[in-house]
Structure 1
Amino acid sequence: MSVGDVLVRIRKEQGLTQDDLARKLFVTRQAVSRWENGETSPSIDMCKLIAATCDVPVVELLEMPDAPYCQSCGMPFFKQEDHGTEADGARSEEFCSWCYNDGAFIEDESLEELIERCAPGMAETCHITTDEAVSFMGAVLPTLKRWK
């Protein structure tokens, strides 16, 4: 589901017009309309503001992959080798091979350290700025199993 579709649903569930939401977010009605129609997308930071304003989880507004993804770093599992391993050698269904191996996390790091380590790679891969990657990861990673 696109961010525009989610935004329409959230706005209607809360009984808000595009004008109402625009006023709450300090943007124009046209900006809200463009987001809802898919002409443009709200920035990651705007998605955080929308989530806080409408009291919904920010991950509803961020387009996460449909496929399962690592519950530590958020990387999608594209192939079997992307999965980490449990202590008995079995494939981990929850964590990737870059975060988890032999039943333990590879790095003993804080959430902030993981973001600092991974954001440059995400920025390069996704063609966004490092600041945008940090913002995205800062919004999504705390919702994952490892960090809850």
Structure 2
Amino acid sequence: MDIKDIIRDIRARHGLSQEEMAKKLFVTRQAVSRRENGLTVPNTDTLKIISRVFGISINTLVGQPRNMTCQVCGSPLEDEGTLSRNANGTVNDQYCKWCYINGVHKYSNMEQVIRDVIPRWHWGSPEQMAEWLRKQLRTLAYWQGKTSE
């Protein structure tokens, strides 16, 4: 999907007029119109604002979405509602909103994660899920080189 279509889709999903979207992005209505028609593309600063305001990763904005997984708990990051935020409000597509809150990691050991994740996931017995999670968590970037204690 082209960035012009992504911007139009974001505006439509949020029920905004071009004028309302322009106010949120600190640009003119004409700038929104030009971007939606493919006449211009947003600069880096505007992409950051769109990402922060609408909770969308910059990868998605530039048309390169990827399958993302929280690097702490392994949860799929399937939509903007599960993505975490950095301290400055920008979207962080490495972690879910439960593991990384306003720029701070919630967990320091795997057992804490396992206790919190099992009630959110509904497959198998708690024992099966805990065993599977212990294996999976070790493969995630956040846990590389850390102990499981």
TM-score w.r.t. length of structure 1: 0.49
Which structure shows the higher helix fraction?
Answer: 1
TM-score by length of 2: 0.49
